A = this chain, B = another copy of it.
Amino acid sequence: MAKVEFMPVGRRGTCSEETSLLECARLLDVDLVGLCGGIGVCRRCRVQVVAGAVSEPTEEDQGAFAEGELGQGHRLACMTYPRGDVRVHVPPESLSAPQRTQVEGLEVQVQPDPLARAFEVRMTPPSLGRPVPDDRNLWDALRRDHGLAMGTIDLAVQQVLSTRLRELGFEAGVVVREGEVIAVDAPATRWIGLAVDIGTTKIAVYLVDMQSGAIAASAGLMNPQISYGEDIVSRIHHAGESAENAAKMQALLVDALNGSVASLCAEIGADPAHIVDAVLVANTAVHHLFLRLPVRQLGLVPYVPGIGGAEDFKAREIGLKTAPGAWVHMLPNIAGYVGADHVAMLLATGVSGREGVTLAIDIGTNTEICLNCSGRMKSVSCASGPAFEGAQIRFGMRAAAGAIEHVRLDGERPEIQTIGGGSPVGICGSGLLDAVAQMLQGGVIDATGRMLDHPLVRRRDGVREFILAERPGQEDITLSQKDIRALQAAKTAIRLGIQALVEDAGIKDEDIDRVIIAGAFGTFIDVESAIAIGMLPELPLGRFEQVGNAAGTGARLALVSREKRREALAIAELDGYLELARIPDFNEKFAAATPMGAPVS
């Protein structure tokens, strides 16, 4: 028997070595496409084996992939059998049901005032009487028609300029960024911008109309680096091992972004070559992996970033396909585990400018929390772990079709709600939160998290398990004591982060006027459940606000507004980072905060 793990969907299980990967996927409810019935004809069930050994490539594999691809583990799932434990990456195009990612966020209105500005020029073609060089000719027109001071032209633009100007009869649309021409094309070209929030697990991509600041198209996708580890520490370790690893991980991410951008452009009839500005946000580790910066020091005390400040560089430097001279702007990082995505979230939610006491929290594998107490702003980072993403949970999975996302325990059996409404195949983070809260309130577990005897609790191999969903003919979906403990550790980490900020500010929980919950996961949780298990402070529900992907909104704001870029810098500057590792009695506090619903001492 072999352990088979499908990424990025996050489903794991044990399969016989006589079971093809396509069959394994079906057994584990991974929606891998297979049109031909698994006979190697349709070539739709393409996967990549990223760890472990599998059977030799068949003739069908050789027909479907180039030699180099086979060497990198690309296979048809229907033709491939595990030879021991394997990890398999399923690209989005091979999934029949897309995963739920979060691109919707706050709608914040801002007056567009972008760094990259578009102009139309009508140049005088050169002649023997006026044999003016093309660069000079272009700047003369920009100066004459638009009052711009003489500037420069990006080298990559120069590499096409003379040819393109002649094709266009010396009439052109031109984009200028801080005195540098970064794009030239036909007059009336629709110039677009790109905003991206790269999460550890999920990525939100937005194309933005640079004139209006409106979203032209958006998409969510999985971070393909997940194949190198669900948690960021594994990825830091892998990237730190060799420059090749780091380069591969970066290329994987850049390819995924280019692919998504190309699809979105096709959707709206635009051209990636007309992307004239980009703002990217990510947590510090993902930010560094994306820029191929050293990451080793992020995993070692005192966990400092290589880049704290905002970073500007040419998109082509990292292989991002845009207009020839386009720049990328990355917002500043605050600390090794409080990154640009947190800054973007604070920017979008306006936390820094709010009066009173505001708590802003982005729950994930790593949870960042900021407390703005009458203008004094501090952030912490807590390692809440991957339980919310379904990892370390026996039937855990990400928020994809078939995941139990809500649970109520009123009658004899748990009432469950799945994503997409179909039969349950596993449980995702919000479902888990609900389930544990309901189990606590229903007396299935006690305050310490211990599972008690209960009609819905059965014993298997002497160990208690809670029956969440019976599935005739299939294994029931259950929660074990171990699953409860994983969630308990996560909630404790978050609770302690909040507590550290509250104590540092010298206030009490009830002084918090507003709790902003940002991020994909936070959008779907039941706040009552989160309060019930003691993850969030016990405050009137009216004080909570679930805002969706605020980091993505922050990236969009910084894309179209120079003022918002300056504000982001100010936020990073103002934010006093609080390092939990410096709190002397942290371990004692952790133990004290472990009980479910426990008020922290």
Question: Which residues on A are within 8 Å of B, measured CB to CB?
Answer: 126-137, 152-153, 155, 158-163, 166, 291-294, 296-297, 301-309, 311-313, 317, 333, 335-336, 577, 579, 581-582
Contact = CB atoms under 8 A, between A and B. Distances in A.
Given A155-B317, A160-B294, A304 B131 contact: yes
Contacts of A292: 159
Contacts of A293: 158-159, 161-162
A308 B579 contact: no
29 contacts: A127-B302, A128-B302, A128-B579, A128-B581, A130-B302, A131-B335, A131-B336, A131-B579, A132-B304, A133-B305, A133-B308, A133-B309, A133-B333, A134-B297, A134-B304, A134-B307, A137-B304, A152-B309, A152-B312, A155-B291, A158-B306, A158-B307, A159-B291, A159-B293, A161-B294, A162-B293, A162-B306, A163-B296, A166-B297
A96 to B, nearest CB: 39
B291 A162 contact: no
Nearest to A295: B162
Contacts of A296: 162-163
A182 to B, nearest CB: 13
A129 B166 CA distance: 60
Nearest to A160: B294
Copies in the complex: 2
Nearest to A150: B309
Given A128-B301, A159-B291, A163-B294, 5 more contacts: A131-B303, A131-B304, A133-B335, A160-B294, A162-B293
A293 to B, nearest CB: 6
Contacts of A577: 131
B129 A582 contact: yes
A148 to B, nearest CB: 15
A159 B243 CA distance: 11
Nearest to A310: B152
A304 B160 CA distance: 15
B307 A135 contact: yes
Contact of A133 (B134, B158, B306): B306
A311 B153 CA distance: 8
Nearest to A131: B302
B126 A304 contact: yes
